[in-house]
Structure 1
Amino acid sequence: MTIVDDTYDVYGTIKELELLTQAIQRWDISYIESLPEYFKAIFNSIVELLDEIIELNAGNGESDLVLQCLKQTLSHYAQGYIDEARWCHEGYIPTYDEYKVVASATTAYQTLTIMFIALGEFATKETLHWFEQQREHAASAVECCMKQYGFSEEEAHEFIKKDINNYWKDMNEEYLKLIEYIPRPILDCIVNLARICEFLYTNFGDKITDCALFKDHIMALLLDPVVV
């Protein structure tokens, strides 16, 4: 996913990325036959990953449904990236509402959750259908918010913080409501992915891009002894 992210952000032209998106969405490598070899390597890696998941899942009788869901979420993922690439190419700053729709795909949140569900006893028809029903169908969120509402950067930060808090309230409420009906590990996966995202981008930083921000956390986790 990191390689796909960087390809759309940095390495591909719009024409190349359009073809890569079509190849992923139509599951057909012929769209990128004319492109450099690394595009084919990316596509083949995605195919191999799905083949491995399906092979691990072969015993439960839901392989076709799992494959359909995985292809659909990867299609959604690629569409989000090409939308962001077009915005960047055109110099377009979307509204905050437009940004949230596309960012819901490019965070890979749905893709990672579907892959988690697909591995093991959770890949049932009922669980996959429930998750599909929950889905909502490259400027920063702050810039988009400033544009849509005419906010200063500080005002946009406060607005987004309130938005995040409201989403956490919704998530916690749904977690408690669904815990009797949906396997707890699946709900935990969804909540924990949200916690990871919040950790990575807390205070509007970016620990993925600026790895130095990780240093103290890695030290605390792996090197500094815990005094009991």
Structure 2
Amino acid sequence: MTSLIYYKYSSSRPKSNCFFVTRHINDMAFLEAHTASPNCAIVDFHFHHAQKLKELKDAVANVGEDEQLIAFDAMQHLGLDHHFREEIEAFLQKQYHARAYDNCNHQLFEVSLHFRLLRQQGYHVTTDVFNKFKNIEDLTSRLLDKDIEGLVGLYEASHLSFQGEDALDEAGKLSHQILTAWLPNNLDDHRAPLVAHSLKHPYHKSLTRFMAKNFLNYFQGTEKWASVLQELAKIELNVVESIIRNEILQISKWWKELGLTKELNFVRDQPIKWYTWPMACLTDPSLSEERVELTKSISLVYIIDDIFDVHGTLDELILFTAAVERWDLDATDELPDYMKISFKALYDITNETSDRLYKRHGWNPIESLKKSWAILCKAFLLEAQWFRCGHLPNAEDYLKNGVISTGVPAVLTHAFFILGQGITQQAIDIVDNINTPGIISSTATILRLWDDFGSAKDENQNGYDGSYIQCYVNEHDGCSDEDARAYVVQKISDEWKRLNQECFSSNPFSESFTKLALNVARMVPMMYDYNTQHRLPSLEENMKSLLFDSFLAQGSPGQTI
């Protein structure tokens, strides 16, 4: 078996061959200019890609099961697993029925990796497999035995815990504690970068779209499949980069032609930032149309949010909400001009989306989409009534409404129909239900709590606002802001366990939709991590790396640049 968890971290990272991004990620002119830059040429990799993909499939098919387990995990880290869906499913099904995770000869790394891959694939595997590793004495002895890989594997596996799996939670905390103490005294150890990266970016809570290139920079292996995997990953990253640049041009063109910022000078002008949601959350390269379509829906959420949070009076907001419920362009005379413009954009874009989806999938989702917008506007209106009248609701009522006002239920309703997979009456009834299904509500709750947890806000948002922390402190006598924040951190952790259970247990949704919901939750910390300059440094840095630290500049085997 490949040593050190199938790959090895090198002591130095390759330096970037591209320039540093100094402007905002939402600076459309900047991104458009560099999307068309001759320094980032679009090369036709399709033939070489197909050749390397076949070579990798052949290589992986001819190695042992232990090596396959490691190879498939590496593919997931690199975002190549969509090419191996059938192979991965067949392999894990065989591993599950053979109960291979029970026969790992007390190797913590192998048990952890089996558990993580099986659970995230939806197999029922209990935490009993960790019984022999869960006490502090055993974990400490593994540190003394230098089983760093095993401790990292356990820490990674602990992020997939469900509610009630306290033993796995505790083992994860202990492994985190031990690795954190080990790291400062072992910075020269070749495993130190692996430990540091895992502690900061555990795989299950991270986005493959942003982590893949970092993973590849450190990836090493002597087996044939490992070298072929590296080559294929570089080609795929270049293909993905070209796709993203093309999608940015499409979104920029659509937004300019829409012209809303000229007529509505109070709305945010951030189409590229909005695009980063579907770009990072719908990672299959073939879903280009879906990413562009979903960006349009997301832009509407931000526009409507600005109407309610920044610009509209209460009387106007009541009229606008009623207009959205009626869904009739001919019944908008009572609206002020800026709301007529906004409603027409909402009406036209939603109906155009519905028409396209009907032609593509044979199901017209207009009733569900209309309902999602009406529910969102009602939630926005309730918040406006609360905070403009100086009323602070209790924390439970605030959060119940806040789950809707995140826009997540509306966006995921659109995404469900845009993806067009698993559209059954049962699934539609669940999506349409006013009691938001768990897979959506947990994602929305994570977003709401993270958003309220932050101290800095979006640079272009200076309207009325509230927060769960504020409501919680007001409701609990003697509760400090610090106490409330600690409570929110634990609540986010608990919500992640609920989301894990929803996604990795039987549900009526497609794999693509489930992965999307998980990725939205993973994206949240990056999208709400504003600094004191109202910037999103983590998002900016990741987008810089994704679009400008190109492997095209470095070259790839078998390619002519």
TMscore range, shorter length: 0.7 to 0.9
Structure having the higher Rg = 2
AA of the residue aligned to 1:109 = V
Determine the structure 1 residue equivalent to 2:416: 117
CA distance in 2, matches of 1:144, 1:3: 26
**Which 10-residue stretch deviates more, 28-37 or 87-96?**
28-37
AA of the residue aligned to 1:178 = S
AA of the residue aligned to 2:481 = E
AA of the residue aligned to 1:104 = V
SS at match of 1:34: coil
SS at match of 2:505: helix
Q: Residue 129 of structure 1 is aligned with which of 407, 429, 434?
A: 429
Poorly superposed stretches of 4+, deviation over 6 Å: none
Cα deviation, residue 120, structure 1: 4.3
Residue 167 (1) aligns with residue 495 (2)? yes
CA distance in 2, matches of 1:105, 1:3: 16
Determine the structure 2 residue equivalent to 1:146: 473
**Which 10-residue stretch deviates more, 2-11 or 136-145?**
136-145
Q: Number of matched residues?
A: 221
SS at match of 1:178: coil
CA distance in 2, matches of 1:72, 1:186: 20
Distance 1:61 1:12, change over 3 A: same
Q: Which whole-Å deviations, capped at 9, do the CAs of 1:100-147 have from their partners, x for residues lacking one?
A: 111111111011111111124324433222333561693112111111
Residue 200 (1) aligns with residue 524 (2)? no
CA distance in 2, matches of 1:79, 1:43: 15
**Which 10-residue stretch deviates more, 158-167 or 209-218?**
209-218
Q: Whose relative contact order is higher, 1 or 2, with alpha carbons under 8 Å and at least 6 apart?
A: 2
Determine the structure 1 residue equivalent to 2:328: 28
| Contact map agreement 2:527 2:536 (CA 8 A) in 1 | no
AA of the residue aligned to 1:210 = H
Q: Residue 211 of structure 1 is aligned with which of 506, 530, 535?
A: 535
**Which 10-residue stretch deviates more, 107-116 or 34-43?**
34-43
Cα deviation, residue 220, structure 1: 3.9
Residue 86 (1) aligns with residue 414 (2)? no
CA distance in 1, matches of 2:469, 2:523: 20
**Which 10-residue stretch deviates more, 86-95 or 158-167?**
86-95
- Larger relative helix fraction: 1
Q: Which ranges in structure 1 are unaligned for 5 or more consecutive residues?
A: none
CA distance in 2, matches of 1:62, 1:222: 36
Cα deviation, residue 154, structure 1: 0.7
AA of the residue aligned to 1:68 = E
| Contact map agreement 1:99 1:141 (CA 8 A) in 2 | yes
Distance 1:165 1:212, change over 3 A: closer
CA distance in 1, matches of 2:373, 2:328: 13
Determine the structure 1 residue equivalent to 2:53: none
Q: Residue 12 of structure 1 is aligned with which of 288, 298, 312?
A: 312
Q: Which ranges in structure 2 are unaligned for 5 or more consecutive residues?
A: 1-300, 442-464, 555-561
Q: Residue 342 of structure 2 is aligned with which of 24, 38, 42?
A: 42
Determine the structure 1 residue equivalent to 2:86: none
AA of the residue aligned to 1:34 = E
CA distance in 1, matches of 2:485, 2:522: 19
Residue 96 (1) aligns with residue 395 (2)? yes
Residue 2 (1) aligns with residue 330 (2)? no
| Contact map agreement 1:96 1:148 (CA 8 A) in 2 | yes
Q: Residue 156 of structure 1 is aligned with which of 455, 473, 484?
A: 484
Cα deviation, residue 96, structure 1: 1.2
CA distance in 1, matches of 2:523, 2:498: 17
